[in-house]
Structure 1
Amino acid sequence: MEQGAQSIYRTVAVLKAIAERDRYGSGMTEVATATGLTGPTVHRILRALVDVGFALQLEDRNYVLGPLVYDLGLTASSRFDLKGLTGNITTALAEQTGDTVFFSRVSGNDMVCVSRTSGSFPIKTLITDVGLRRPLGVGASGLAVLSALPVDECDAAIERNSALYEELGKTVAQVREEVDIARRAGHVIRDITALGARTISKPLRDKTGRPFGSFSVSSISQRMDGDHLAKCLELLHTAGRKIEEMVRVDYSSHV
């Protein structure tokens, strides 16, 4: 890899690491751990990002995304406004199920939560935040996307994220098993024991058949069972097909 390209990849890795903890801010050591880069390299990149407005250093010396990221995002939003494209369907699904609905999109080797819409059921399962990045294979949304990839691409994505799985207490074998189950079912059903929650997720494909995101519904485990689970799965697949039809018509002209 050329030196210039390597520097760009390292800088992007640092930006992603900051974005993952943007609500709280990230210290230099945390960024170094997340990226695998040395402390001096991270320090040099962070200072450059602050200088150009891609990052800010807070009073507690943690780093967050800077104003230029927001400005560039506004410029690109009309081209990649999947949230606007799917908003009505997301709202309708939350109303029909009464539960929390998540729309997430693929971003490199990660999934990013684009929107979270709560239904009327009083106990909310807010299992992730808008803007949060998680590696493909971690969480129902990422497993759903992996299950929709060709086997060789799925295997490659799992290998790329293998070190991150270990940090999060998962193994490659576990991820492969969960993906195989999802591939056979056409969707993911995943329990989050620590939160007493259950999430179902369906991959979303563009007009070429490639997964670009996922649609998920989450509720407490006692509720997401039996007839309600069956109802939510049916509604989820119906809503997913509607989004895929819209993307086949509109999304290709925005990328």
Structure 2
Amino acid sequence: MAEKAAGGGVQSVERVFELLELITDAGGEVTLSELSASTDLPLPTIHRLLRTLVMKGYARQLPNRRYALGPRLIRLGEGANKQLGALARPQLKMLVDRLGETSNMAVLDSDMVVYIAQVPSSHSMRMFTEVGRRAHTHDTGVGKAILAQLDNETVRNIVTRAGMPTPTEKSIGSVEQLLEELENIRERGYSIDEQEQELGVRCFAMAVPDAPTPTAISVSGPISRVDESFADKAVPLLRSAAQAISDDLNLAS
């Protein structure tokens, strides 16, 4: 008979997902002792569940005895991202129709952001971000919008593991500078990629509230078109779109 959890779920299933989330929060790789210190589960239970996850391909044991996320999770993640992108597409299209610039959606994937949906603008000159592209968090509009939703310790861990390359002279290159920028983002409610990823390109981005995984949407284009007057129009529309996507996600859950 299946073991029941207090909330009506199956306890062993809840424990499996707890372990997967702990491995994810640790950057995708963790020791057995680190898992044990992060959960109230008995060590034999952790070991048994990990053994099952490894057998099924949802976790793997590395030569150094650490545990990492397994390759079968990639297929599940890709499928979920496609569904999330499809759900958001009407709102992304609304942004392009109203603003005339390319709109994107990205999620936090380990220590990077991955773009999962895009509606391109009709302009020949536009930002060439592609669906499936992975990017750093500290120098992208969507990345900074996502980081602003996290606590500073988590931000430090993410950028320490991923590194902080500076693609342009305008890119943020230190953790302290990034934390200061994130505080500004929290106060105003949206982020700006001020030619930090690509010279000549400006991006406005906003986090999707209450998303199941850290998520953000953005509009971007050349600085000649994406200026202060553009921001006055874009920010309210981004806020409306982010909330609509959040509402749709809650309805779908």
Q: Aligned equivalents of 2:102 and 2:81: distance in 1? A: 27
1:92-171 superposed matches below 5 A: 92-126=94-128, 128-149=129-150, 151=151, 154-168=152-166, 170-171=173-174
Aligned residue type for 2:231 = L
Q: Secondary structure at the match of 2:208?
A: strand
Instruction: Give 1 or 2 for the bigger CA radius of gyration.
Output: 2
> What amino acid maps onto 1:155 in structure 2?
E
| 3-state SS in 1 of match to 2:193 | strand
Percent of residue pairs identical: 19
- State how far apart, in whole Å, the 2-side matches of 1:83 and 1:214 are: 11
Deviation at 1:122, TM superposition (A): 3.5
Unaligned stretches of 5+ residues in structure 2:
1-30, 34-59, 168-172
Cα deviation code 1:187-209 (max 9, x no counterpart): 001211653010000001226xx
* Residue 204 (structure 1) aligned with residue 208 (structure 2): yes
| Structure 2 Cα separation of the partners of residues 79 and 182 of structure 1 | 25
Offset of residue 165 of structure 1: 3.1
Question: What is the alpha-carbon distance in structure 2 between the residues aligned to residue 10 and residue 158 of structure 1?
Answer: 22
Could you give the per-residue CA deviations for residues 91-136 of structure 1, whole angstroms, max 9, x where no partner exists?
121111110101001222221100121123342122x221122233
- 8 Å CA contact 2:115–2:134 kept in 1: the answer is yes
Change (3 A) 1:196 1:239: same
Contact kept in structure 1, 2:114 and 2:134, CA below 8 Å: yes
- 2:182 paired with 1:179: yes
Residues 6 and 69 (structure 1 numbering): CA distance in 2 closer, same or farther, change over 3 Å?
A: closer
Over the aligned positions, Cα root-mean-square deviation in angstroms equals 3.0
* Residue correspondences, number: 190
| Offset at residue 185 of structure 1 (A) | 0.7
Alignment of 1:229 with 2:227, yes or no, is: no
TM-score by length of 1: 0.64
Conserved 8 A contact 1:137-1:158: no
Distance in 2 (CA, whole Å) between partners of 1:87 and 1:163 is: 31
Indicate the residue corresponding to 1:242 in structure 2. 244
Bigger fraction of residues in helix: 1
SS in 2 for 1:195: coil
Q: Which amino acid aligns with 1:144?
A: A
